[in-house]
């Protein structure tokens, strides 16, 4: 770790640059100099400048210097942003996110929508030194931009908070996210479909510990204890809530009531439906699959089939 540096406030000064040293709208140096790209509006320069100043102060106080940040940002990318820079150091991540929060406050206090501000930055073509093929890099970025959206839009379209989305990205639950040339988190458009599919899957197969408690007449804490001790199996903890397969809850209920164990019901992952398989090889009755949207319908059908078989 580098030496912690309390920056002399009199050494902090801002400069406009027509050409940046790499593909960024704002840049800072160990000396306290902060550069902003010249071809921006006054509000954009103010907000980006504030972002760079806060990021610089927070990182220097943690012993991170300009050279480390530059290496994280541009390593093996010919001056373009490294899409995995957030993974390089937690200090950088936290400082960048806090600086972005302040940047957003400035923009919104000025009466400008954050998404509109981001679109304006995204449409800014940056002239920078570390670049070999500007035209091809620009085309590649534009192509990528059509396939990705900002984290704010992802939040709006999924109903999730930005903090939850960031945690999902860290846990690799959202794949393909990257940091773009202006330092903003972008997520593949197709991740929305993947999230909705996962949500439908979870809703079909699982119920929360609260819902399980209502079905079994037990407290939520009791249900959590049963899952934690593997008495009710295959529970998943998402955030602070346990989710349990509906089938496992029903198995537990039947066991407590001394009813027959459920056999012949499966959850089909692709169809996101419950399947009842009937048939008996010993009686040369071929297998037959019936699909049901929920477990109650599947159980009702299976119980009816079992009742018919008993009377035969």
Give residue-wise pLDDT tens across range 90-131: 788 888 889 999 999 999 999 999 989 988 998 888 887 765
How many other CB atoms are found less than 10 A from the CB of residue 212?
29
pLDDT at position 288? 60
CATH number of 204-259: 1.10.10
Which residue ranges make up each domain of the chain? 9-188, 204-259, 263-312
Residue 152's closest CA among 208, 125, 197, 114?
114
pLDDT at position 309? 43
pLDDT at position 278? 53
Beta 13-17 vs 33-37: how paired, if at all? parallel
What is the model's pTM? 0.44
pLDDT at position 253? 83
Helix residue ranges per DSSP H, the chain: 42-61, 66-74, 90-109, 114-122, 134-147, 151-158, 162-170, 190-205, 209-216, 220-228, 246-256, 295-311
Contact 187, 174 (CB under 8 A): yes
At CA 290, angle to CA 287 and CA 295, rounded to 5? 125
All residue ranges of the chain with pLDDT < 50 are 1-2, 76-84, 86, 132-133, 279-286, 306-312
Residue 220's closest CA among 208, 229, 232?
208
pLDDT at position 246? 80
Q: Which helix (H) or strand (E) holds 39?
A: none
DSSP of 53-110: HHHHHHHHHTT--HHHHHHHHHTTTTTSPPTTGGGT-HHHHHHHHHHHHHHHHHHHHT
pLDDT at position 305? 52
């Amino acid at each position: 770790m580098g030496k912690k540096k309390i920056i002399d406030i009199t050494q902090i000064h801002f400069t406009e640059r027509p050409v940046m040293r790499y593909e960024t709208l704002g840049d800072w140096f160990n000396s306290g100099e902060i550069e902003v790209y010249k071809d921006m509006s006054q509000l954009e320069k103010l907000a980006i400048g504030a972002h760079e100043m806060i990021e610089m102060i927070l990182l220097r106080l943690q012993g991170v210097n300009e050279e480390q940040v530059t290496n994280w940002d541009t390593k093996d990318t010919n001056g373009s942003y490294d899409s995995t820079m957030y993974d390089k150091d937690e200090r950088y991540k936290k400082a960048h996110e806090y600086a972005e929060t302040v940047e957003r406050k400035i923009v919104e206090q000025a009466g400008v929508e954050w998404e509109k501000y981001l679109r304006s930055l995204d449409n800014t073509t940056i002239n920078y030194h570390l670049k070999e093929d500007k035209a091809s890099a620009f085309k590649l970025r534009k192509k990528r931009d059509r396939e990705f959206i900002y984290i704010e839009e992802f939040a709006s379209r999924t109903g999730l908070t930005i903090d939850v989305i960031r945690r999902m990205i860290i846990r690799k639950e959202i794949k393909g996210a990257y940091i773009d040339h202006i330092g903003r988190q972008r997520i593949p458009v197709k991740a929305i479909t993947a999230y909705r599919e996962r949500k439908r899957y979870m809703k079909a197969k699982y119920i929360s510990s609260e819902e399980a408690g209502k079905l079994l007449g037990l407290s939520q804490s009791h249900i959590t204890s049963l899952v934690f001790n593997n008495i009710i199996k295959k529970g998943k903890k998402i955030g602070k809530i346990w989710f349990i397969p509906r089938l496992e809850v029903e198995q537990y209920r039947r066991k407590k009531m001394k009813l027959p164990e459920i056999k012949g019901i499966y959850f089909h992952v692709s169809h996101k439906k419950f399947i009842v398989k009937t048939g008996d090889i010993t009686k040369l009755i071929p297998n037959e699959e019936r699909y049901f949207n929920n477990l109650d319908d599947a159980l009702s059908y299976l119980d009816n089939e079992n009742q018919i078989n008993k009377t035969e």
